[in-house]
Amino acid sequence: DAKTTQPNSMESNEEEPVHLPCNHSTISGTDYIHWYRQLPSQGPEYVIHGLTSNVNNRMASLAIAEDRKSSTLILHRATLRDAAVYYCILMNSGGYQKVTFGTGTKLQVIP
Amino acid sequence: GAVVSQHPSWVICKSGTSVKIECRSLDFQATTMFWYRQFPKQSLMLMATSNEGSKATYEQGVEKDKFLINHASLTLSTLTVTSAHPEDSSFYICSASVLTPRGYTFGSGTRLTVV
């Protein structure tokens, strides 16, 4: 598995933007960059994914470096409900391969 | 769309008994499902890959006779923890591969407590 590296924890003030980084220097050409988040006592939920271009959806934005060796998940205005563990995961286009979770980034949102 | 329902959400059982956890894909067919275990303050650890109509593939260190996986249909995979012990207490999560770019959909998890 291509591995990802994320900071263990980050803090953000409520209503402020948050930039969650992820390094994936061994990414292959067919790997998509996926972000999931896990709220306490729940299963992970999909946030966003991308291949090469930056992506936006109603939850977040994903900025992908030109060499694809790193990416950043952007929450434009953090709310208390965004407090979760955020996982950056690489998945190839095949769709059936097992996924290995790293430690993720625990985001704390301060009121 | 692409909802995975996991049941029960929590269960308490006595040491030595067996517990079955169900994972259902509600609006799609899942030929492949995955089972994870998560201890407090730790990341998800993949236990096994469940394939419809064939034997599950277990990760190294996971006892296949203790964690029985059955994937008898395209919408249901079950994990049975046999002869449960307190050290099996954990949060168990299933996921299914979805044939969309989103990749995987996860169940809501099952909190198992063995007393």
pLDDT, residue A7, reads 97
pLDDT of residue B113: 98
Grouping H, G, I as helix, E, B as strand and the rest as coil, residue B76 is strand
Q: How far apart are the first and last CA of chain A?
A: 38
What are the tens digits of pLDDT across the range B72-88? Answer: 898 999 999 999 999 99
Per the structure block, which two tokens stand in for A31? 């790997």
Alpha-carbon gap, residue B82 to B13, rounded angstroms = 11
In this prediction, residues B88-106 reach a mean pLDDT of 86
Residue of chain B with shortest Cα separation from A106: B41
From A78's Cα to the closest Cα of chain B, the distance in A is 22
Indicate the average pLDDT of chain A.
Answer: 92
- Per-residue confidence (pLDDT) for residue B31, from 0 to 100: 84
Question: Does any CB of chain B come closer than 8 Å to the CB of residue A94?
Answer: no
Give the closest-approach CA distance of A43 to chain B in angstroms: 4
pLDDT at A111: 95
Q: Which of B43, B90, B98 to mutate to test the interface with A (most CBs of A within 10 A)?
A: B43
Q: What residue of B is the nearest CA neighbor of A101? A: B44
Nearest CB partner across the interface for A45, out of B44, B97, B106? B106
Compute the nearest-CA separation of B102 from chain A (Å). Answer: 7
A99 — pLDDT class (breaks 50, 70, 90): confident
User: CA separation (Å) from A61 to A11, A57, A58, A75, A105?
Assistant: 18, 6, 8, 7, 16
